[in-house]
Amino acid sequence: MVTLRKNNRRLSLAIDALRHHDVVAFPTETVYGLGAVALWDDAVTKIFEAKSRPATNPLIVHVPHREMARRIGYFDRPAEALVEAFWPGPLTIVVRVREEAGISEWVTAGLPTVALRSPSHPIAMQILEDLNLPLAAPSANRSGRISATTAADVRAEFGDTVKVVIDGGPCRVGLESTIVDVSHDGSVSLLRPGGQSRESIERVIGRLQDAYPDEEAPRSPGRLSNHYAPNLPLRLDASEPRSEEAYLAFGPSNARSEIATRNLSQSGDLTEAACNLFGMMRALDRSPATRIAVSPIPQYGLGEAINDRLHRAAAPRDRT
């Protein structure tokens, strides 16, 4: 496996790999992505193979700028307002796809819509600009597992099956992008809470409709339970751990597990907590505990996305 570091400016190797229809893992501000050119079936199917991802689950298309996004999807006024306010950044919009854009049907899973995002991470931006092609990129984890927020996580997930991993250090946001559906005239709905808070989006376009409870699936299969699953079971809203439990705390709590304790944010900062969530879940998952107890997390700002991921991680494993 070739691991490229940020400073050695050998991104051209990654770009060559992508041009040769290969997959490349790269950092974004949210989580690491496993990218392939979104136009080529043979490239995109390598993503599904590496992740063991069901073909029914569509991928997000990453673009360097709005002009490319508008060539791929139909933008109405709410879509324009959203990208004007939040791109580049942790917001994905679902719009109707333009047939002539040539996006692989593997990427859209045959839907009449496409999910688009322009990431703000400098390495992701540079790859997209130099390549000048849209990149399909799901989170760089095996299907159903916790997303990778460091290059080491990516390597732990895929070993040698992913040959090029670009190391950009830990992701700044640490949670996947927020996904909103603007493909229906007159309504904008939240498909997945994420790194862009609901409140910030509602300040720009007004009230969001809720579409993300599981019953609404499978329009966004990432909303299904059984995603983000650690190996250990979770117990949520726990003000302190019981014996044999590891503890994921939040805020100025003194509660500690005798096995392993991590605090998402001692000061109660939800942005810091979001950034720490997946790494700390991975760390506690490796402990000898029989379960992970998790402190209550407030349901505002990035807390909505944190709680969403925790509830999925705690969902019974026989549901898919």
Binding residues for ligand TXA (CB under 6 A)? 28, 30-31, 33, 57-60, 92, 94, 108, 111, 113-115, 117, 119, 137-139, 176-177, 179, 191, 219-222
Q: How far is the CB of 19 from ligand TXA (least distance, A)?
A: 20
Which does residue 33 touch among ligand TXA, Mg ion, none (CB within 5 to 8 A, set by kind)?
ligand TXA
* Separation of alpha carbons 294 and 232, rounded Å: 12
Longest dimension (CA), the chain: 59
Which does residue 284 touch among Mg ion, ligand TXA, none (CB within 5 to 8 A, set by kind)?
none
* Separation of alpha carbons 170 and 73, rounded Å: 31
* Separation of alpha carbons 94 and 80, rounded Å: 12
Residue nearer to ligand TXA on the CB measure, 50 or 115: 115
Which does residue 137 touch among Mg ion, ligand TXA, none (CB within 5 to 8 A, set by kind)?
ligand TXA
Q: How far is the CB of 138 from Mg ion (least distance, A)?
A: 5
Residue nearer to Mg ion on the CB measure, 98 or 142: 142
Binding residues for Mg ion (CB under 5 A) = 139
- CA 251 to each of CA 254, 259, 262, 266, 295: distance values in angstroms, whole numbers, following the listed order: 9, 19, 11, 4, 9
Residue nearer to Mg ion on the CB measure, 132 or 161: 161
Q: How far is the CB of 115 from ligand TXA (least distance, A)?
A: 3
Which does residue 91 touch among ligand TXA, Mg ion, none (CB within 5 to 8 A, set by kind)?
none
Residue nearer to ligand TXA on the CB measure, 183 or 265: 183
**Beta carbons within 8 Å of 168's beta carbon, 6+ residues apart:** 6, 26, 27, 121, 122, 123, 151
Residue nearer to Mg ion on the CB measure, 259 or 277: 277
Q: How far is the CB of 61 from ligand TXA (least distance, A)?
A: 8
Residue nearer to ligand TXA on the CB measure, 22 or 29: 29
Q: How far is the CB of 113 from ligand TXA (least distance, A)?
A: 4
- Output the residue with the shortest Cβ distance to ligand TXA: 222
* Separation of alpha carbons 97 and 56, rounded Å: 17
CA neighbours closer than 13 Å in the CB half-sphere of residue 222: 24
Q: How far is the CB of 111 from ligand TXA (least distance, A)?
A: 5
**Beta carbons within 8 Å of 182's beta carbon, 6+ residues apart:** 76, 78, 79, 82, 93, 94, 95, 188
User: Pick from 144, 303, 279, 280: which is nearest to 225 by CA?
Assistant: 144
